[in-house]
Structure formats: structure tokens, C-alpha cells
Amino acid sequence: MEFKDRLVSFRKIRELTQTELANKVGITLRAVQYYEQGTRTPSTETIEKIADALEVSRDALMTDEEFFVVEAEERYGAKGRKSAQNLIDNAQALFAGGDVTDEDKDEVFRAITEAYWEAKEINKRKYTPKKYRKE
């Protein structure tokens, strides 16, 4: 189940219309429609607001992998989103057909995401000209 499906499901469980959810969160009706269609993904801040409005945890609404992709996009734009999604796809391919527990998969994912953020910071320091660095 994807974020869009969980969003629709929780909204219906809470017996909210799209308009009511939009008003509770402070976003437009069109934004809710985009999120439910899966054509757009909300920011991390909006995800937290939606979770609060639906009275669920962020983890119930969005997987760690989905949240990682959103966060990568916020930090590094479309290119960051693409590289994060690529990383997740490749990591999932490692486990295809295997007998790895969910706990082990989560641990590997945490290690991979930590390495990703670390590499991004190292590269930012390494390739940003000194006059533009904020140190």
C-alpha cells in the first residue's frame, strides 16, 4: 500500500471529506486531491500536519522509504529525489527472493540512508567553492 492509499483510507476512517481535511491541515483542496491521486507528495512538514489531522502517527501514514525520498527531495531537489529512489530500488533488489527478516531489512535501510546523508554532506563540503561555504 502506498502513501496515497493510506491517506485515502485514514481520511475515510475519520469520515472526513477532502475539503474538511484540507481545512484542518491548512492546505488547498487541490493539494489533497494531488496527494490522493499520487501525482504529488507533500513536504515533511505537511505530512506531519496531515498525520495530526487524521490522528495517526507519521509512520502509519508513510513508510520510512517514502519519507526518505521526500526528505531527499526537500534537501537536494528533483535530482536528490531521483537518487534516493534509485538507492531504495537497488536496496530492495538485494532482498528480492531472499529470506531476510523485516528487522534486518530495516537495519540495512537505516545504514544505507545514514551513509547517503553522510556522503551528501561530504560531497557538499568537497565540491562547494570556499567562498560559498557556510562554516
Q: For 90-133, what is each residue's pLDDT tens digit?
A: 887 777 777 778 788 888 888 888 888 888 888 877 777 777 76
Average pLDDT estimate for 52-61: 94
- Tell me how many degrees the CA angle 123-127-130 measures, rounded to the nearest 5: 125
- Tell me how many degrees the CA angle 11-31-41 measures, rounded to the nearest 5: 85
Instruction: Write out pLDDT tens, residues 14-28.
Output: 999 999 999 999 999
DSSP 95-123: TTT----HHHHHHHHHHHHHHHHHHHHHH
What does the pLDDT read at residue 9? 96
Candidates 42, 45, 115, 62; CA nearest to 84 is 115
DSSP 134: -
Contact call for residues 111 and 68 (beta carbons, < 8 A):
no
Decide: helix, strand or coil at residue 2.
coil
What does the pLDDT read at residue 133? 66
Q: Does domain 3-61 have CATH number 1.10.357.10?
A: no
Q: pLDDT band for position 38 (50/70/90)?
A: very high
- Whether residue 57 has pLDDT greater than 80: yes
User: Which of the residue ranges 8-12, 45-49, 78-82, 117-121 would you say has the lowest mean pLDDT?
Assistant: 117-121
What does the pLDDT read at residue 10? 96
The alpha carbon of 38 is separated from its chain's Cα centroid by a whole number of angstroms, namely 13
What does the pLDDT read at residue 135? 59
Candidates 21, 54, 52, 18; CA nearest to 33 is 18
Range(s) for CATH 1.10.260.40 in the chain? 3-61
